[in-house]
Amino acid sequence: MAMKKTESASRLRELVPVIVFCIALAVIICIPLKVISYGFLPIDDALRHSAKVISGKDWSQILVLREGFSIDSHPGWHFILGAVRQLALCSQDALVTFSITALFLLFCLIPVFFLDRPEAWLLSLLAIVVTAPYMMIRLFFGRPYILTMSVMLAVFFMWPLLKEKKKNPAAMAALTALVALSVWIHGSWYLFALPAAAFFISRETRAGIRFVICAAIGVLIGASLTGHPALFLKQTFVHMTLAFGSSPAQRLLVSEFQSSTGDALIVLLALGMLIWRKLRGEWHSRAVYNPVFILAVLGWTLGFVSSRFWTDWGLPALVFWMAAEFSDYLGRSVDYASWKRLFLALAVSAALFLGITADSNSRWTYNLTTEYLTQGDPKQAAWLPEPGGIIYSDDMGVFYQTFFKNPRAPWRYILGFEPAMMPAEDLAILRKIQWNFGTPEAFKPWVAKMRAQDRLIIRRDRSTKPDIPELEWYYAATNTWIGRLPRR
């Protein structure tokens, strides 16, 4: 009898790894479902991506563009959203929901399938929730950069295969395909120089050479999928240089292009983990002298130039590095089939779920009170641009929200998702408006250009009507004034 109980207990213990895997899988799937249940919508690019697919238009029919910006910079992502729309016949709201959920799951599920200890990945994510919660929020923005972050996680898992003496054709083919998908869907091909540098700095020369070869071929394939490879590569690079070179002061750039603050708390956490390794007598130089940790350091350092080096490259590398550290420790101290793994997975999963889904400072519900400009409102419709008109505004949110709710509207926007894409003359006017903190006089060059069908939309509260007497004004939505030339 005692022997049967022992055998039964042993069989149950053998199920522990499977149960831990299922717990990790379940909590990661449930997190975006809970966030979506609040009615959450991001504030920026996820809105315009879904609206573009619904509109069926080229960007030149949506925005007033600078010469040289003639092709879509995210053709792969719009192809995917278009396919989803055709299959599900869904609205722009549903496309945003798909974007949020699919990209969050893509990033967060990859390590669950490849790590021996999935609970180590959950621990790493929980550490980020506590020390750098904005990263977790960025994972819900539904934007293609999350796919590139996911590609880098896959590259980290492929690293041991890339450094083997004998080439691994399957791994190199997979890496090439992943880079090609990233370029086609996200663009920003030039940033693959960062992980390449990390390989060579850490003296992983063989892996670095193979990565460069795969990345170069992947970039060419990804660019070729656009149908205009040379123009695509040129436009995305020029876009990057203009985005950073068109502003006389950093405060005029969009917030994610501005400098990182250094994230002292997460730096202290990483240092604490290194000290912890030293104290338990397991220190070796490869804990830090490896491509993953080097990429984290490179991203953190370059974050003082632009925070996206840190948030999109350095921080994901650090999250993976922490997961590998936790996994290494658990592998040495906790038996693979120990019940301790189950208790740890349950505790960390509960904390992770509550930590991410808590609506702190209305981070998941702030958009519920947003008032949109829409042609469906008769009063607003009378003040929105007429066919062929242009919306002038210094606020990118006007474009995101208005285009999202009016994807097929017969007007264009002077300011869209990136100021650098504006005609040079209009970009200079925008920078002057920003430089002078939106004083009415700074808007006058746009007012002078306006036609009867055009509109100027300015964000001000109800009590602060724009002091631009050349236009007549209507308070159309919360903190939103629409100005037009007087009707005769």
Same domain, 429 and 339: no
Same domain, 151 and 228: yes
Contacts within 8 Å (CB) and 24+ apart, 198-202: 198/291, 198/292, 198/294, 198/295, 198/298, 198/317, 199/291, 201/294, 201/298, 202/289, 202/290, 202/291, 202/293, 202/294
Instruction: Please give the residue range of the domain that contains residue 454.
Output: 370-484
Same domain, 376 and 347: no
Same domain, 433 and 341: no
pLDDT of 6 reads 59
Share of the chain above pLDDT 70, in %: 97
Same domain, 123 and 229: yes
pLDDT digits (tens, 9 = 90+) for 99-110: 999 999 999 999
Gap between the Cα atoms of 139 and 283, Å rounded:
32
Same domain, 397 and 251: no
Same domain, 234 and 271: yes
Nearest residue to 367 via CA among 35, 99, 40, 34 = 40
Cross-sheet strand order for the sheet of 472-477:
412-413, 390-392, 455-459, 480-484, 472-477
Same domain, 352 and 407: no
> Which residue, of 310, 338, 362, is where some domain finishes?
362
pLDDT digits (tens, 9 = 90+) for 435-488: 999 999 999 999 999 999 999 999 999 999 999 999 999 999 999 999 999 987
Reported as half-sphere exposure (CB side, CA atoms, 13 A), residue 268 has a value of 6
pLDDT digits (tens, 9 = 90+) for 194-225: 999 999 999 999 999 999 999 999 999 999 99
Contacts of residue 334, Cβ cutoff 8 Å, sequence gap at least 6: 340, 341, 344
| Average pLDDT estimate for 346-359 | 97
Q: Is 440 helix (H, G, I), strand (E, B) or coil?
A: helix
pLDDT digits (tens, 9 = 90+) for 368-403: 999 999 999 999 999 999 999 999 999 999 999 999
Whether the CB-CB separation of 389 and 62 falls below 8 Å is answered with no
Same domain, 349 and 376: no
377: its two tokens: 């409102």
> Which residue, of 330, 362, 394, is where some domain finishes?
362
pLDDT digits (tens, 9 = 90+) for 293-342: 999 999 999 999 999 999 999 999 999 999 999 999 999 999 998 999 99
Q: What's the DSSP call for residue 63?
A: B
Q: Is 372 helix (H, G, I), strand (E, B) or coil?
A: coil
pLDDT for residue 4 is more than 60:
no
Gap between the Cα atoms of 8 and 3, Å rounded:
9
Whether the CB-CB separation of 171 and 162 falls below 8 Å is answered with yes
pLDDT digits (tens, 9 = 90+) for 134-156: 999 999 999 999 999 999 999 99
pLDDT of 245 reads 74
392: which strand partners?
456
Phi and psi at residue 430, in whole multiples of 5°?
A: -60, -45
The total number of structural domains in the chain stands at 2
> Which residue, of 362, 383, 411, is where some domain finishes?
362
Confidence band of 52 (pLDDT split at 50, 70, 90) = very high
pLDDT digits (tens, 9 = 90+) for 67-86: 989 889 999 999 999 999 99
Same domain, 309 and 447: no
pLDDT of 253 reads 83
pLDDT of 97 reads 97
| Average pLDDT estimate for 235-261 | 85
Any idea which residue has 């370059």 for tokens? Answer: 302
pLDDT for residue 60 is more than 80:
yes
Same domain, 402 and 333: no
The reported pTM is 0.94
pLDDT for residue 133 is more than 60:
yes
pLDDT of 68 reads 85
pLDDT for residue 5 is more than 60:
no
Phi and psi at residue 375, in whole multiples of 5°?
A: -65, -15
Same domain, 116 and 260: yes
Gap between the Cα atoms of 472 and 469, Å rounded:
7
